[in-house]
Structure 1
Amino acid sequence: MKLGLIGVAALMACAPVMAQEGGIKTAVKGTDLTIYGVFDLYAARYSTTAAGVTETTTEVGSGGVGGSRLGFLASRNVNADLTVGGRLEAGINLDSGRIGSSTNPVEATARTDRVWSRQAYLSIASKKFGEVRLGRQQGPTYQFMTQYDPILMPTVDGWGVLTTLGSQVAGSTSGFYINPTIRTDNTIYYQSPEFNGFHVKTSYAGRDSKDTDKSIFDFSLNYGKGPLNASLLLLRASGSKTSTDVNEAALAASYDFGVVKPYITLIQRDTTNPALTGGDTSNQRTALLGAIVPVSKEGQIRLSLGRYSNQRANRDATGLAIAYTHDVAPGFMVYTGLSLLRQDSDSRIPIFTSAIPDKGKSVNAITVGAAFRF
């Protein structure tokens, strides 16, 4: 499977979609160790018009609702307050057995030599003062996405499509940093203790290698108490004096009524090129609505409707997705989904790994799959 920025979305975590089964827990020389994994395989069919020809493609891939992976999470209590530990997590393309999740949104070129391609970090946690993590990880931006996307099925998901925005197309509109793909190297992460339902998450990923052309700072203020969850997320990606700087902000909320759980997310992106006289600023916006509707103890219908707006003329797009997930047994799920993407006359956004459409052409996708988590 070829992995571009959109392709990496297949390797997302999916906590809202499938509950973590807890893994295999053991103790080794005073250290608590959890071994966990996900096996996810799907078949997808995409239809669009490319190079003037109706193009229909079918593929088998890995990571329809959760990236296939193998992980190790270790921790040791130093005293009643302090815990130290770490995580090693490798992404796997189950269809081929190859390493998965090998790219970064801030890397100049894709990396194919990662062993622990998803996460690799050291952590120090205090009940009083919060947790610090150091290493490669998925920070506030990634966690924001997993919490407020009701579908989390990248093969059809309108949320992911309208935030990655066809980044596989040379010269196309770049995607948001607030999207389902972001993991960063060399990252310092902090999460505060919870206070009356509020907590803060923040991280900084610096420019300390030739592979990264931007540093990323993000900050989120989160509230979760009872049925209500809400978050404010701020992100800045900055590079040299001549490179484009990016500022993004997002606001999201969900509320669990029991019979339905609605979601709303708003994302704003402003870019500035300091190399131009006075700076050249442009903006993009995405608004997303969604819902989860339980239809049985095991089954859920998932809905997503998104609208992408670009300051440049004729670049807007609308995505609609509907999916169904069914828990067959603890840790084992089957799923299916359908997505429709309509776009303006100068837009060429694909869905996941579909053919790159001609300008203004719609894209349809349907997928079926199964995932097992331990």
Structure 2
Amino acid sequence: MKKTRLACTAFAACVSLAAPSAFAQSSVILYGVLDQGINYTNNAGAGAVWEMASGYAQGSRWGIKGAEDLGGGVKAIFQLENGFDVSSGRFFQGDRLFGRQAYLGIHDERFGTLTLGRQYDSVVDYLAQTTANGNWAGFMFSHPYDNDNTDNSFRLGNSVKYASPNLAGFQFGGVYSFSNDTNFSNNRAYSFGGQYENDGLLIAAAYLQANNPGAGSIGAITANDASFIAARMRIFGAGINYAFGSATVGFSYTNSNYKDPTGNNYIGIPLAAPGVKLSTLKYQNFEVNGKYEFTPAFFVGAQYVYTMQNYESSLGNVRPKIHSVGLMADYHLSKRTDVYVQGVYQKVAGDSTQSILDNAFILGTRAPSSTDNQVAVRVALRHSF
């Protein structure tokens, strides 16, 4: 009997020690992408330039993400993601350690996910994947100046985000980003969107608004993180992709409205000539894209974007047009390593704004062209881990 009691006591002790670890299972994953290549631009202000550059088809990054099982289909989750330049080793995203993403939250299988921190807006989460640049092509295929943030030029700090579970192919979500200022609405942002996916069909839409993006260093979109600096930014759009066999085709429309814009961090030059007041800058982007997989290891993709610009200043209202064409070929040497070639052509036509915006500018090139057209070509190697 004594031996039996001892055995039972030992068994109970083992169960009590094992139960907490079985209940609170956790996982931590280290991951990353290295995207490095050589670019040629036919006209970057002072002439043609060859340069080594990092993070175009995908931003070079490393990150840590993890989850702890809290039981009942609930998990505590986190993600920390750093963006960096392979060429120099320096940080991207305003020299932040975890500039791409930094958040923690709770995931529930039935009710969705709630996270807090530095995160993507709903345009990036839902709409961007219907564009070439937000899906398979990356940086150089962005709409002019990434005016609609479909290439995630900025993130939202101080943000609370909700994402629904998958409801028969439908998902939706939203994010609110605090200004962290005594003036509650100064440099705050909010966004929402959704998507429906079923049998090769993807339909998505999103909305984003920010007050005073680029103002200060503590708000939703800070001065060293903004694309456009303005009194107000408002973006909305929708897109559709359809995959059939080895082919995928897509169309997207985005509308961007900037009130009292003063600058753009990609060029660091005022958006109006000296003495001219720019009151409104609007963009409408119409994109058609397609991709064909010749084999599981090799695809070719193409994109055309027609952009209508509305430039309202103290000199009047003008409406230039911007044509952008992109081509890409990608070949996988292995499951985690590929080589790709990209080429983009941009042409600015129609009315003159009498500003730097009359000059073509492909994102990723060193500087705007000295003329109304520009060509950029890239050859690169990419590795993920």
- TM bucket (normalised to shorter chain) is 0.7 to 0.9
Separation in 1, partners of 2:186, 2:69: 38
Residue 292 of structure 2 is matched in structure 1 by: 293
Native 8 Å contact 1:163 1:286 kept in 2:
no
Distance 1:272 1:83 in 2: 41
The answer on whether the counterparts of 2:365 and 2:376 sit within 8 Å (CA) in structure 1 is no
* Aligned 8 A contact 2:344 2:377 in 1: yes
Please report how far the alpha carbon of residue 177 of structure 1 lies from its aligned counterpart in structure 2 after TM superposition: 4.3
SS at match of 2:340: strand
Cα deviation for residue 97 of structure 1 reads 1.1
Look up the equivalent residue of 1:120 and give its one-letter code.
A
* CA distance in structure 2 between the partners assigned to 1:354 and 1:95 by the alignment: 15
Unpaired stretches in structure 2, ≥5 consecutive residues: 1-21, 214-229, 261-278, 312-317, 353-357
In the superposition, relative to structure 1, how do residues 95 and 272 fare at CA in structure 2: closer, same or farther (>3 Å)?
closer
2:193 corresponds to: 220
> Distance between the aligned counterparts of 1:246 and 1:49, measured in 2?
28
Matches of 2:139 and 2:162, distance apart in 1 = 32
Aligned to 1:277: none
Given candidates 35, 52, 55, the residue that maps to 2:30 is 35
Distance 1:337 1:56 in 2: 17
Measured in 1, the distance between the counterparts of 2:176 and 2:307 equals 27
Tell me the SS of whatever aligns to 2:254: strand
The CA deviation at 1:43 is 0.5
2:140 to 156, 162, 177: 156
CA RMSD in angstroms, aligned pairs only: 2.5
- Aligned runs of 1:303-318 on 2, under 5 Å? 303-312=302-311, 313-318=318-323
Identity %: 18
The residue number in structure 1 matching 2:162 is 190
* Residue number among 325, 329, 333 corresponding to 1:324 in the alignment: 329
Conserved 8 A contact 1:44-1:155: no
Q: Identify if the C-alpha distance between structure 1 residues 154 and 44 changes in structure 2 by more than 3 Å, giving closer, same or farther.
A: farther
Distance 1:44 1:144 in 2: 30
Q: CA deviation at 1:328?
A: 0.9
Deviation, structure 1 residue 83 = 0.5
Shift, 1:154, TM fit: 4.2
Q: For 2:82 and 2:247, how far apart are their aligned partners in 1? A: 35
Inter-partner Cα distance in structure 2 for 1:249 and 1:119: 23
Name the counterpart of 1:23.
none
- The CA deviation at 1:213 is 5.4
CA distance in structure 2 between the partners assigned to 1:178 and 1:329 by the alignment: 28
- Work out the CA distance in 2 between the residues paired with 1:331 and 1:282: 41
Deviations 1:123-169 (A, max 9, x none): 20111111011001223222235512335444531xx14252xxxxx
Structure 1 residues 368 and 327, CA, compared in 2 at 3 Å: closer, same or farther? same
Select which of 335, 350, 375 maps to 1:364. Answer: 375
Which residues of 2 match residues 223-234 of structure 1 at below 5 A? Answer: 223-234=196-207
Indicate if the aligned counterparts of 1:162 and 1:306 stay in contact, CA closer than 8 A: no
Question: Which residue among 63, 67, 80 is the counterpart of 2:55?
Answer: 63
Q: Which residue of 1 aligns with 2:112?
A: 130
More helix per residue: 1 or 2? 2
Relative distance call for 1:225 and 1:99 in structure 2 (3 A) is: same
Aligned partners of 2:85 and 2:92 also within 8 Å = yes
1:264 and 2:251 are equivalent in the alignment: yes
1:336 equivalent to 2:309? Answer: no
1:281 Cα shift?
5.9
Partner of 1:355: 367
- Separation in 2 of the partners of 1:205 and 1:267? 22
Q: Which has the larger radius of gyration?
A: 2
Partners of 1:238 and 1:320 lie apart in 2 by 32
Higher relative contact order (CA 8 A, sep 6+): 1
Contact 1:156–1:366 (Cα < 8 Å) also in 2: no
Alignment deviations for residues 149-206 of structure 1 (CA, whole Å, 9 cap, x no partner): 335444531xx14252xxxxxxxxxx33454313111111110112121111211112
In 1, distance between residues paired with 2:384 and 2:129?
19
Alignment-mate amino acid for residue 116 of structure 2? L
Select the residue among 83, 90, 95 that pairs with 2:82.
Answer: 90
- 1:141·1:233 contact (CA, 8 Å) conserved in 2? yes
Aligned to 1:7: none
Checking the alignment, whether the CA contact within 8 Å between 1:222 and 1:232 is kept in structure 2 is: yes
